Amino acid sequence: MKVVIPVGDLHVGGGCKVLVDIANTLADRGHDTEIVMPYTGTVKYDLRCKLTLIPSLSKEYIPYGDIIVTNFYTTVHPSVEAWPEQTVRLSLGFEPYWVPDKTEALRSYQHDIPIISISHWLDEQIFNHVNKRSQVINLGINPNVFHPGSQPKEFEANKPKVILYIGRDAVHYELKGFNDFAEAMKIVKKEYPGPFIVHMISPDGELFLPEIPYKIFPAQDEEGMAKLYRSADLFVSSSWFEAFSLPPLEAMACGTPVVTTNSGGVLDFCTDLESAFLTMPKNPQSLASGILSIMFSETLAKKLIKGGLQSAQHFTKARYLSEMIKAIESIYEKRMGS
């Protein structure tokens, strides 16, 4: 089977990493796999498949494939125009919620092509807007990397609590909720009597938390992330909406309690007060309440650690890649048999 995956870029980011993992797995399983990308794109990952640079994402430059796996909305229209029978829509996030050209993004879901999505929340957004259902395949993590380690997490009263957070630039990534987190930490500082520090991973450069003790870490590979998760007393996610969101799942797999906004896709693996503490999006007070609840209660922290580990074991990278490749192969087989 010849598989073509058009992309705009392969920068450091969750969606790009998913596409690379799918492409590499397809190639490893013997499929002729080709990523096509404009000359202006960048590649921050190791590829085990063919990479072809093209002038632009337009129909005349999309090569033939038995299956064309489109992803970001800008890859859909040229692929459908070039190869309507071969095109599949992989949705890694509901673009009409955040891209400037919302009409064009929504139209990318209206073509008569198969859709694969990564969470039941995402499937529901697609259905509510275009009355179409997708095949849901949840993402997953590598348990050989993301695990609790050999040392149990300690709860020492006098030891500064470590709050791990992934900070994104509030101007370009407003939906990640950095300003909400910053406001929440002001509340935590007022109400928590003990010492604490925020370990903030900042892929976009220096971010600031005024009057809050914090340390900045650059973007990390998976092994680096796992170490940071294991070293933290809790992990916080403040996103307004997420199609799935791997970081909370990674933290849970590392035995770290999670405070996360109810951002949508996390509901496939987060149950409130069982595997994570769920808070309201765009609500710093709610986020602060979740953080403080875990910082004040060792009992709650241990309960969430146990529940998080149990939930995470069902969401492995091997499982999701196997299901994803099977879904792509099945679409091809049905088309060839029709």
60, 170, 229, 270 from 259: Cα distances, Å? 47, 20, 13, 10
**Residue 45 belongs to a domain with what CATH number?**
3.40.50.2000
Same structural domain for residues 298 and 326?
A: no
Same structural domain for residues 188 and 247?
A: yes
Q: Give a yes or no: residue 147 inside a domain.
A: no
- Helices marked H in the chain — which ranges? 14-28, 76-82, 102-107, 120-130, 178-191, 222-231, 246-253, 284-296, 298-312, 317-337
Q: Give a yes or no: residue 304 inside a domain.
A: yes
- Please choose, from the candidates 104, 119, 114, 39, the residue with its C-alpha nearest in 3D space to the C-alpha of residue 72: 104
pLDDT in tens, the chain (338 residues): 999 999 999 987 889 999 999 999 999 999 999 999 999 999 999 999 999 999 999 999 999 999 999 999 999 999 999 999 999 999 999 999 999 999 999 999 999 999 999 999 999 999 999 999 999 999 999 999 999 998 777 777 778 999 999 999 888 889 999 999 999 999 999 999 999 999 999 988 788 998 999 999 998 889 999 999 999 999 999 999 999 999 999 999 999 999 999 999 999 999 999 999 999 999 999 999 999 999 999 999 999 999 999 999 999 999 999 999 999 999 999 988 85
Same structural domain for residues 90 and 69?
A: yes
Q: Give a yes or no: residue 151 inside a domain.
A: no
Same structural domain for residues 303 and 323?
A: no
Strand order in the sheet with 258-261: 214-217, 196-201, 161-166, 234-237, 258-261, 277-279
Same structural domain for residues 287 and 170?
A: yes
- Helices marked H in 13-134 — which ranges? 14-28, 76-82, 102-107, 120-130
The two structure tokens encoding residue 310: 């149990």
Residue position matching structure tokens 């370990």: 199
Q: What is the crossing angle of helices 298-312 and 284-296, to 10°?
A: 100
Helix/strand/coil for 107: helix
Q: What is residue 49's predicted lDDT score, i.e. its pLDDT?
A: 97
CB atoms under 10 Å from CB of 121, counted, come to 21
Q: What is residue 335's predicted lDDT score, i.e. its pLDDT?
A: 87
Domain count, the chain: 2
Same structural domain for residues 195 and 268?
A: yes
Q: What is residue 13's predicted lDDT score, i.e. its pLDDT?
A: 81
Domain of 234 in residue numbering reads as 161-312
Same structural domain for residues 136 and 188?
A: no
Q: What is residue 183's predicted lDDT score, i.e. its pLDDT?
A: 97
The two structure tokens encoding residue 83: 């190869």
CB atoms under 10 Å from CB of 133, counted, come to 12
Same structural domain for residues 302 and 176?
A: yes
